[in-house]
Structure 1
Amino acid sequence: MGSSINLGTKHHQVLRKEFQEVSRQTIYSALRYFNNSETAQKIRNRAIELLEEEIKEYKNFNNK
């Protein structure tokens, strides 16, 4: 199995909102590393940021 970034629905919704100029298929392809365009790289970087934010929230929640 190749590389991919797996996101939940809420993160997909954020990407769709932030990258309205591209299709759903473009986001899917970017997250599956099917292309390496500048836009695909931006989508992947933002997806990773969203996951990192969720990890921080989870750690903060568990430390309370």
Structure 2
Amino acid sequence: MKKIRIHGDYMQQMAKEFDCSIQTVRMSLYYVFNSDKSKEIRKRAKELLQKEVAAIIEE
């Protein structure tokens, strides 16, 4: 089963960014939804995770 797991704070942030509900973000990250907005949400989640990893590596 494919899914992108991120912290709830990021879900709230993305819900505000994309003007949608946290449920929409969650379902997009669990690949239940596959709309254009869902694809953008997944792309943004990956960017946030990569940014977090980069911060850990720099420490």
Q: TM-score under structure 1 normalisation?
A: 0.83
Tell me, yes or no, if the aligned pair for 2:28 and 2:38 is still in contact at 8 Å: yes
SS at match of 1:56: helix
What is residue 39 of structure 2 aligned with on the other side?
41
Larger Rg: 1
**Which 4+ stretches in 1 moved above 2 angstroms?**
none
SS at match of 2:50: helix
**One-letter amino acid of the counterpart of residue 56, structure 1:** A
What is residue 8 of structure 2 aligned with on the other side?
9
Sequence identity (%) = 34
Task: Give the length in aligned residue pairs.
Answer: 59
- TM-superposed deviation, 1:17: 2.0
Q: TM-score under structure 2 normalisation?
A: 0.89
Q: Give ranges in structure 1 of 5+ residues lacking alignment.
A: none
RMSD: 1.0
What is residue 57 of structure 1 aligned with on the other side?
55
- TM-superposed deviation, 1:27: 0.7
